[in-house]
Structure 1
Amino acid sequence: MLTLNKVITFEYDLEHDSEHDLSHKKDFSAPKIYTANGDLSKRWYVYFSFRDPETKKLKRQKNIYGNANSFKNKEDRLALLSRYRRRLLKLLQEGYNPSFNNTELYKSKLIKKGTANGSQDSSKKELLPQIKYPKTTVNKVETNSTTKTIEDVDTNDSGMTLREALDFSLKIKEKEISPRSHIDYKYTTNALVKWIKENRPKLKTINQFDKKAALDFLNAVLLRSSARNRNNYRLNLSSLFQVLEDNELIPSNPIKKINALRSIPKRNKSYSTKEHTKIFEYLKKEDPLLLLYIKFISYNFLRPVEVCRLKIKDINLEDKTMQFKAKNSPLKTKLIPKKIIDELPDLSKLDPEFYLFTPIKIGGKWNTTDTNKSTYFSKRYRTVVKDHFNLDKNQTLYSFRHTFITILYKSLLKGSSPHAAKSELMNITGHNSMDALEKYLRGVDATLPNDYSKHFDND
């Protein structure tokens, strides 16, 4: 007899069958996954209820374990149970009944599928009699007062806890995003879980987290910070909850239904010719290492964090090029201008794995994250330069990139058309498209018009 349980754990997936073809009242509850609150020493399974033909009431059915409990980590165990749950839902919608022998119905589905494909898959028919189904023993769990079967303790279980679900999503996302983004995502989930504990203590499982809870959390972020920060939290959470929806751990992503707020972006203010000249002269005496760091930003048009990533092996003085991980590319190559080469010390005797910039010298070990390195130089610049010259708070290390791209563009415009100047500039700065470059130039006010006073001569 081919039971419904055997069909679920058998390695066959009817991926293209409809999940929404029931026109009558459902005779079953939506299948759920029991995770024992993440305890891997206990058995995890899929459970559901089916309408009893005599009492007409939903009755709890045997748990579906399959091979899930052979896995020793949460992610693999949950992934397999999610497949079982998905198959179970499809089979129930197709008419499978746990109270009857489903062999003929199952065979008819195989024949129907084989006919649709042009031939029947004989390999699957041969496997049917060999299906091995684990014994459905009752798992005992101990409580403070009495011993209960696992069926008794989890009947009202409503899914993974919020923390477990977010950790699962983070584990999946870790393979898709950069380490820096993963840290941001983890920080966001920690903030959410903390807020839920303090403001929604009764909200325990991921299935209880809805749009209203998400809105309340995002509003709390908005009130204590800014619309931009709130939008960043929203973006991170939406990405993580989409993983949960894709893996059928939640019916839908509640964050997708929440709109982003209009925010005013912060802008790094460029330096005037007088300002950057004065800063460079000051740093020649006060902090030559910081000056060289700034010149890599200014003349190579790198972002501060990109300079921090540079290693000795990335600098090719023979070809006058450097390679680095950019914001929009895993590996980008740029020309090193003579103004930089002339100021570099002899790098030939340094370990290729050394970082080019460290807090105390050119070329050395520096075991911390790229973000920490960038933050270190930002603080150093504030202490040495900004406080000394009383600069605007929006005049940062990044501002040097804006300043020198503007200087270069204005120089290229002399004796050249705007399009020709931008074409050459794009090749230098590394922008991916002319549209991206033009948007950038407008953003830093590099495209100012010529003096138009002559048009008012008659006034």
Structure 2
Amino acid sequence: MPLSFLLLRTVNATVNVFSMKLNYSEPKIYTGGVDISQWAKLSSLTKKEALSKDWFVYYSYRDPKTGKLKRQSHIKAGANKLKTKKERYSFLKTMQQALLELLKYGFNPYEDNSNLEKSFLNKSYSKVNNLDKLSKVDSKYHENKTLESNSEEILNIYDAFQMALDLKSNMMNRNSFVQYKSRIRLFEKWLKEKNYYQNKINFITKKIIINYLNDVLKRTSARNRNNSRTDIASTFQLLEDNELIQYNFVSKIPVLKTTPKRNKTYTPIQEKEIYEYLKTKDPHLLLFIKFISYSILRPIEICRLKIEDVDIKDKKLYVKAKNKPVQIKIIPDILLESLPDLSNKNPKSYLFGRYEIGSFWDAQEVNKRNEFSKRFKIIKDHFNLGSDYGMYSFKHTFITKLYKAYRKEMSQYEAKSKLLPISGHTTMKALEKYLRDIDAELPEDYSKLLREIKKG
């Protein structure tokens, strides 16, 4: 019996439904975040990335409790075992058409569909050879995460960004989240100024974000523009992962080339004069700088150290570093000699309090670092040092010293291998780039060759 006849049999039961809003949205196919109609124009890399993701049919059905459309479990039915775009899309297209027919016929994920299943199976409706998977949506509904939305299934900009911020707050450390949140709020402010903010999240296009990033570039710098792009792209990736948008187009916006600002290394004379001056001016700051110099730590890593992180007996520091949860570093004897007695200090207190060792300091890490930076600014002003000098310069200075000392007796590779566990870099490639950036190794004087060339 043809499907059209079966549908006519249900007209009396469904005539009232058709006079109202549909209880479902038309099923759609997610194709890995790309426009399938533009497939031939896509690069090989983009095609590969799209096929590496799960493709599926998705739809929404009206929740009987809220009266609002709610996203239902995705239907994959083994489609992602198919490796080519043609096979995968053709398979899901059949599933999409079959699901649409089922919905028209009366399929309801909130009710028992056994009679509907029996009717279709008895009539050998060939397009729905995966009907058992579709009919099980009802039983699996409460086992899978679903996304509740308004009747148009799309969050507004405020709700989408707020959801992203709520999730990110549990995914990032506190300092990174503060910076991330600040950039997203600035983007929201710009959207309000442009009268875009009242729209749904899918109103934001690649062109709108490019215009915003251009505005950031004009007002600030390429580096700040790139950081804004990174945080917005991260937000949109989170929205894509949670199926609030179909595709994170922000990730396709190119990163601008920038020239990173680098602190200069100190000359031996500058280093000696600063150390001597700090002995009387600010001994607490001097010890802080020795931790940068001798343990090769970042200022913010030092601010995280507590008394319990300093193992005097085994000469070890347990550091919460940038690139790993806990990094163990040795305490060189030259630094141990500068440390006061810590045995009577509270293990939970910070190694560097505001003015003394082993005191409690109720402030965020970034504010602690800024406090020491402000105090060092006084020292810089005393020696008339410019903005390209800072506390970080001590790290560059002492890594350069160590590398040159190793190079007196070792090859480049041996020297770098010795330096790698000291510097804290995770790979040799990262260390080599760092050494190039700080000009740690300079060529020998080549005047003799120039004289020979001149003679010739």
The alignment's TM-score, normalised by the length of structure 2, stands at 0.72
Given the alignment of the two structures, is residue 168 of structure 1 paired with residue 130 of structure 2, yes or no?
no
Given the alignment of the two structures, is residue 436 of structure 1 paired with residue 438 of structure 2, yes or no?
no
- The 1:356–1:214 alpha-carbon spacing in structure 2 relative to 1, beyond 3 Å, is same
- The 1:262–1:124 alpha-carbon spacing in structure 2 relative to 1, beyond 3 Å, is closer
Residue 455 of structure 1 deviates from its aligned partner by 1.7
Give the partner amino acid of 1:64: D
Give the partner amino acid of 2:383: F
Given the alignment of the two structures, is residue 84 of structure 1 paired with residue 79 of structure 2, yes or no?
no
The residue number in structure 2 matching 1:277 is 272
1:268, 1:396 within 8 Å by CA — same for their partners in 2?
Answer: yes
Given the alignment of the two structures, is residue 445 of structure 1 paired with residue 406 of structure 2, yes or no?
no
- The 1:238–1:93 alpha-carbon spacing in structure 2 relative to 1, beyond 3 Å, is farther
2:240, 2:246 within 8 Å by CA — same for their partners in 1?
Answer: yes
Counterpart of 1:425 (choices 412, 416, 419) is: 419
The residue number in structure 2 matching 1:228 is 223
Given the alignment of the two structures, is residue 310 of structure 1 paired with residue 305 of structure 2, yes or no?
yes
Alignment of 1:210-221 (within 5 A): 210-221=205-216
Given the alignment of the two structures, is residue 374 of structure 1 paired with residue 369 of structure 2, yes or no?
yes
Once the two structures are superposed, residues 269-319 of structure 1 have per-residue CA deviations (whole angstroms, 9 ceiling, x without a partner) of 111111111100110110000000000000000011001110000000000
2:72, 2:141 within 8 Å by CA — same for their partners in 1?
Answer: no
Segments of structure 2 that go 5 or more residues without pairing to the other structure are: 1-9, 18-22, 32-57, 77-91, 108-112, 143-149
The residue number in structure 2 matching 1:250 is 245
| In 1, Cα distance between equivalents of 2:367 and 2:117 | 59
| In 2, Cα distance between equivalents of 1:398 and 1:432 | 19
Residue 456 of structure 1 deviates from its aligned partner by 3.1
| In 1, Cα distance between equivalents of 2:264 and 2:67 | 56
| In 1, Cα distance between equivalents of 2:221 and 2:201 | 27
Once the two structures are superposed, residues 33-85 of structure 1 have per-residue CA deviations (whole angstroms, 9 ceiling, x without a partner) of xxxxxxxxxxxxx997xxxxxxxxxxxxx83256899xxxxxxxxxxx76427
1:325, 1:332 within 8 Å by CA — same for their partners in 2?
Answer: yes
1:96, 1:105 within 8 Å by CA — same for their partners in 2?
Answer: no
Residue 402 of structure 1 deviates from its aligned partner by 0.4
Give the partner amino acid of 1:386: K
Once the two structures are superposed, residues 137-182 of structure 1 have per-residue CA deviations (whole angstroms, 9 ceiling, x without a partner) of xxxxxxxxxxxxxxxxx76x57322121011112223333222222
The residue number in structure 1 matching 2:394 is 400
Residue 438 of structure 1 deviates from its aligned partner by 1.1
| In 2, Cα distance between equivalents of 1:67 and 1:317 | 62
- The 1:105–1:261 alpha-carbon spacing in structure 2 relative to 1, beyond 3 Å, is farther
- The 1:101–1:159 alpha-carbon spacing in structure 2 relative to 1, beyond 3 Å, is closer
Deviates more, 1:96-105 or 1:244-253: 96-105
Alignment of 1:56-455 (within 5 A): 63-65=62-64, 83-84=71-72, 94-102=99-107, 103=113, 106=117, 159-201=154-196, 203-383=198-378, 385-455=379-449
Give the partner amino acid of 2:169: E
Give the partner amino acid of 1:422: K
- The 1:221–1:158 alpha-carbon spacing in structure 2 relative to 1, beyond 3 Å, is farther
- The 1:68–1:348 alpha-carbon spacing in structure 2 relative to 1, beyond 3 Å, is farther
Residue 324 of structure 1 deviates from its aligned partner by 0.8
1:158, 1:205 within 8 Å by CA — same for their partners in 2?
Answer: no
Higher share of residues assigned helix? 2
The alignment's TM-score, normalised by the length of structure 1, stands at 0.72
The residue number in structure 2 matching 1:12 is none
1:214, 1:254 within 8 Å by CA — same for their partners in 2?
Answer: no
Residue 204 of structure 1 deviates from its aligned partner by 2.3
| In 1, Cα distance between equivalents of 2:395 and 2:294 | 8
1:315, 1:321 within 8 Å by CA — same for their partners in 2?
Answer: yes
| In 1, Cα distance between equivalents of 2:247 and 2:129 | 34
The residue number in structure 1 matching 2:88 is none
Segments of structure 1 that go 5 or more residues without pairing to the other structure are: 10-16, 21-45, 49-61, 70-80, 133-153
Once the two structures are superposed, residues 101-135 of structure 1 have per-residue CA deviations (whole angstroms, 9 ceiling, x without a partner) of 334665679x99x999xxx89x969x86x999xxx
| In 2, Cα distance between equivalents of 1:442 and 1:418 | 12
Residue 250 of structure 1 deviates from its aligned partner by 1.6
Give the partner amino acid of 2:106: N
Once the two structures are superposed, residues 76-100 of structure 1 have per-residue CA deviations (whole angstroms, 9 ceiling, x without a partner) of xxxxx76427569976763344442
1:323, 1:332 within 8 Å by CA — same for their partners in 2?
Answer: yes
CA RMSD of aligned residues (A): 3.8
Aligned residues, how many?
371
2:226, 2:256 within 8 Å by CA — same for their partners in 1?
Answer: yes
- Structure 1 SS opposite 2:320: strand
| In 2, Cα distance between equivalents of 1:18 and 1:347 | 64
Give the partner amino acid of 1:100: Y
| In 2, Cα distance between equivalents of 1:345 and 1:443 | 35
1:241, 1:253 within 8 Å by CA — same for their partners in 2?
Answer: yes
- The 1:245–1:82 alpha-carbon spacing in structure 2 relative to 1, beyond 3 Å, is farther
| In 1, Cα distance between equivalents of 2:225 and 2:408 | 44
2:70, 2:153 within 8 Å by CA — same for their partners in 1?
Answer: no
The residue number in structure 1 matching 2:450 is 456
- Structure 1 SS opposite 2:445: coil
| In 2, Cα distance between equivalents of 1:333 and 1:426 | 13
Residue 212 of structure 1 deviates from its aligned partner by 1.9
